Chains A and B, each alone.
Chain A
Amino acid sequence: MVNEGLAHVSDRLLFLAVVLYAFAMLGYAAEFAFGKRARATADAIEDEVARIEVPADVSALALTASGPQPVVERPASYHGPVLGDGTVVDLDAPEPRRRPWRRDPADPGAPRGGRGDALGKGAVALTVIGWGLHIGSVTTRGLAAHRVPWGNMYEFSSMIALIAVTTYLVILLRQPIRYLGAFVMLPVVCYLGIAGTVLYTPAGPLVPALNSYWIKIHVVAVILASGIFAVSAVMTALYLVRSRYDTVTAAGREPGSVARLGRLLPDAKKLDTNSYRVVAFAFPIWTFGIIAGAIWAESAWGRYWGWDPKETWSFVTWVIYAGYLHARATAGWKGRKAAIICLVAFAALTFDFYGVNLWFSGLHSYQGPGV
């Protein structure tokens, strides 16, 4: 029944993917380290540029309005639109092509080239190849077992890691977030390492309770939401580091060893906004996942909600994330407090997946460590 050859290929592909992710992580980390030097050079160049007089006739300098813009003196003959901050809006400029993955993460304006930049680009390339192999691993696993490749905790973990990497790559297509690379890859590599060793389950058919088309709906939604939440948790943790760095340096003190990382990160507000958006994207998916689970439970166990430990903890997770989204809208709870709620929510999510399976026996305990 199980195609052993394909199952073997799947295991190999996952191993290769983890190796590539690990190297990508090293690349991102090295870029981080070199980035410091590169930025120091960039500052020097900027100082140099500042001393050069700007020529009077800059009418040709029609700027597109995206990203930080220098204020440009416009000639008296210009009657086109000018934004409140003095930026000239070019009516004929095409939409700028955005290639954020090619830009230095923490400082999009920094000069290209340089060792750090090359390392970062290389790391992105490795991530993409690893991601391809990872997809290959998941696909062959499904083909080997003739079913969806998310039937037990090992497969589930692999899928969540895949979604986390996918989320990172998708955001990278839109925004320069290469700084996230090392911090996403580190948990992904550890997580896949644990999945491939401790949680590993050979390919096999599904137990009857899981054999339903709802496994394609409920479990996919839950995996998607979890993978995306994972990325938001990484961003939130980085936000906390950066905001700590800001507070400490503003007070004129020397930042601690962790807070020092903050110097290399983009500004706190940006991190905070990004992580909020990622949560806001994942939250409806999580909600849908719970509802789909309830519909499935109705047809499998005869009730849509029964406070089974898994149900209880997904509800707790939902409530805390809902609390986070609300907290962002309440003045007194913005910033660090809201960020901590977000991390607590992610902790509840993690517990929902692993704690509940390992410590409680409930209806969600399927083969060995179940889903």
Chain B
Amino acid sequence: MTTTDSDAPVAPGDSVALSTQPLPPPPPQLGRRSPWQVARRGWRVLTSMRTALLLLVLLGLAAIPGSLIPQHSLAPSTVLRFQEKHPTLSKVYDKFDLFDVFHAPWFAAIYLLLFISLIGCVIPRTRLHLRAMLRRPPAAPRNLGRLPQSARWETDLPPDRAVELAAKALRRKRFRVAVGEHSVAAEKGYLRETGNLLFHLSLILLLAGIGTGSLFGYTGSVLLVDGHSFTNVAALYDTYKPGALTRSTSLSPFSVHLNGFDATYQADGEPETFDAHVTATTAGGKTTSNDLRVNHPLTFGHARVYLIGHGYTLHVVLRNKAGVVEYEDDVPCIPQDLTDYLSDCVVKAPNTGGTIPTVLKDPQTGQTATVDEQLQFAFLLDFVPTAAVTAGGVISTYPAPQRPRVIVQAYTGDLGLETGVPQSVYDLDTSTLNPVAIDLQHQVITPGGTDQTVALPQGYTLDVSGYGQWASLQVKDDPSKLYTLIAAGLIVLGLLLSLRVRRRRVWLRATPSASGRTIVEAGGLARTDADDFAREFPRLVARLAGDVRPSESS
């Protein structure tokens, strides 16, 4: 604990360091120690300040790899790329959970040990502090002149009166005062230790809050296309991460309909505003229109809905020779670059109603046969919001759709959707597919323009008849958030008290002297910040001596 920078001697019973136990005494003699002794010793070592400090530093060090090595929880795709690039190193990293540091058992071990150590420190120390607060300030030492701060003067007042006046003056200075026979003991600054304990208790509370939140809460995200709705049911999320004790069958009931999305940009392409226009419906059937913006989440009970991303959609229509629509959808495109919003859209149309003659080869006999396979189409469409033609091809120069174009690549072949192997709707493996040759003028088309139609084999056509927007929403439910926040506030309060308040003791003794005058001795001990107290003490003495001054007239 942050306590002192003084070299002042410390009265017995004052613990300067956090540890309630002094460092473990040397083991008695050789010989066997009982398990109880070993456990006691272990507990002492664990709850010593040195151990707590070591664990604290260890926790800091342990967090560093989490920022240097890509993390599953932050950037899963970066982790995959890293693993492809460094397969051997990745195996080692995986062994030590280095791709998921903050959920690794060893990381948890460090902070759990730290908090056990903290609890072991804080509880006994709280008991001591409570006792100290109930007790009177310790009585004056025999020789006040040997304290780091001391003073001495004489007065004509009788000792009783001098002590009484001094006690009054000290109380006015908000000292806690105990008056003895011809002596005063005073102490001030108990709030320092109170703050210190408050800080450490709140740290424990904070961790408890974080823990409960992750046990009972959940996080989910969903990509919502313009004109579509989302209802808060676990199965409808694109990704859904519940805590170990979350009851996923009873999530806060609400639904959100995306009416439209607006993004504005500065001239240099930096985003200016993002605004999702949504209609929210709560359990009672109450419907409200809202603007969901960055920094302005919507709240439904414990759950909050955040706008975390956006992108474009393309309206794609696939028709057969007769003009019958075989596939139609608003396909979300994933931005490849957030500065120009060049986006990839993947269209998979396995059921087109048509067939295609395919040459099959028997891997064992080497015989070939031609059979009619189902005609499947796949398209890779690159949406270019503001297109410019350069020597390297078509690029995007601005994130808003000022000159929207779509670069078309088409494929036929088995998409492998029936194999049961899960695949991402946003990725297309083209290695097993056959590219379709598209005539030059239809390789780059304008969505919704006169050139929007691309001719495909067997009389099929692809229309990119327009574009829209999608917004990605994140829903986060953390039932203990409020407690965590309160704990955080108390941490700051505790810190301020423990670092700003100074604790000090002042004693005063009045003795009658042979000359008939009273000798007043004062002593002071700073338990923190001795330099400040060295400045304060003479002023305090001036004040006390001024009040206990000899009446000059006598």
Contacts and interface: CB of A to CB of B under 8 A. Distances in A.
B57 interface: yes
A283 B1 CA distance: 13
27 contacts: A65-B539, A79-B155, A81-B545, A83-B149, A83-B151, A84-B150, A204-B270, A205-B266, A287-B491, A287-B492, A287-B495, A298-B481, A299-B306, A302-B219, A302-B297, A302-B308, A304-B481, A307-B67, A307-B74, A312-B64, A315-B60, A315-B63, A326-B1, A326-B18, A326-B49, A328-B4, A330-B53
4 A-B pairs with the lowest CB-CB distances in the bound complex, closest first: A65-B538, A319-B60, A84-B150, A302-B306
A310 to B, nearest CB: 9
A328 B5 contact: yes
Nearest to A322: B56
Contacts of B294: 208-209, 211, 300
Nearest to A329: B3
A287 B67 CA distance: 20
A295 B492 CA distance: 14
Contact of B5 (A212, A273, A360, A362): A273
A284 B496 contact: yes
B57 A320 contact: yes
Contact of A207 (B101, B270, B489, B491): B270
B37 interface: no
B295 A80 contact: no
A65 B18 CA distance: 34
Interface string A272-286: 010011001101100
B118 to A, nearest CB: 12
B549 interface: yes
A139 B460 CA distance: 64
B308 A301 contact: yes
Interface string B48-63: 0110110011011101
A369 to B, nearest CB: 13
Interface in B116-156: 145, 147, 149-155
Interface in A293-345: 294-296, 298-309, 312-313, 315-316, 319-320, 322-323, 325-331
Contact of A208 (B63, B273, B306, B538): B273
In this complex, the member of A81, A204, A208 whose beta carbon has the largest number of chain B beta carbons within 10 angstroms is: A81
A283 B306 contact: no
Contacts of A301: 306, 308
Given A91-B545, A273-B5, A329-B16, A208 B271 contact: yes
Contacts of A281: 499
Contacts of B308: 301-302
A341 B59 CA distance: 15
Contacts of A87: 538
Given A89-B541, A329-B18, A291 B488 contact: yes
B71 interface: yes
B495 A284 contact: yes
Contacts of B549: 91
Given A287-B492, A307-B67, A325-B499, 16 more contacts: A79-B154, A81-B522, A81-B541, A209-B294, A276-B5, A287-B491, A291-B489, A299-B297, A302-B308, A315-B60, A315-B63, A320-B60, A323-B56, A326-B18, A329-B49, A356-B67
A315 B538 CA distance: 42
Given A284-B492, A299-B297, A82 B153 contact: yes
B53 A326 contact: yes
Nearest to A367: B270
Interface in A78-131: 79-84, 87, 89-91, 93
Nearest to B550: A79
| Most B CB within 10 A of own CB, among A89, A91, A330 | A89
Interface string A200-231: 00001101110110100000000000000000
Contacts of A276: 5
Contacts of B152: 81-82
Interface residues of B, number: 79
A328 B67 contact: no
Contacts of B257: none
A205 B269 CA distance: 12
A319 B1 contact: no
Contact of A308 (B74, B268, B496): B74
A288 interface: yes
A86 B294 CA distance: 67
A89 B150 contact: no
Contact of B67 (A66, A322, A360): A360
Interface residues of A, number: 65
Contacts of B155: 79
A207 to B, nearest CB: 6
Contacts of B49: 326, 329-330
Given A65-B539, A307-B66, A83 B2 contact: no
Nearest to A214: B295
A325 B474 contact: no
B529 to A, nearest CB: 8
Nearest to A360: B67
B150 A83 contact: yes
B105 interface: no
A277 B502 CA distance: 12
B274 interface: yes
Among the interface residues A299, A309, A330, A360, which one has the most CB atoms of the partner chain B within 10 A? A330
A260 B17 CA distance: 35
B172 to A, nearest CB: 17
B293 interface: yes
Interface string A345-362: 000000000001000101
A122 B151 CA distance: 41
Contacts of A312: 63-64, 66-67
A205 to B, nearest CB: 6
A337 to B, nearest CB: 12
B252 to A, nearest CB: 15
Contacts of B274: 208
Contacts of B489: 291
Given A79-B550, A208-B274, A329-B4, A319 B492 contact: no
Interface string A33-65: 000000000000000000000000000000001
A174 to B, nearest CB: 11
B326 to A, nearest CB: 39
B304 interface: yes
B476 interface: yes
A287 B266 CA distance: 34
A298 B299 CA distance: 12
A312 B541 CA distance: 50
Contacts of A306: 73-74
Contacts of A204: 266, 268, 270
Contacts of A327: 53
Contacts of B53: 323, 326-327, 330
Nearest to B58: A319
A289 to B, nearest CB: 10
A315 B102 CA distance: 13
B227 interface: no
Contacts of A367: 270
A281 B537 CA distance: 23
Nearest to B71: A307
Given A83-B150, A329-B2, A307 B63 contact: yes
A84 B17 CA distance: 28
Nearest to B273: A208
Nearest to B65: A312
B189 to A, nearest CB: 15
Interface string B517-531: 100001000000001
A281 B154 CA distance: 41
Interface in B1-49: 1-5, 16-18, 49
Nearest to B63: A312
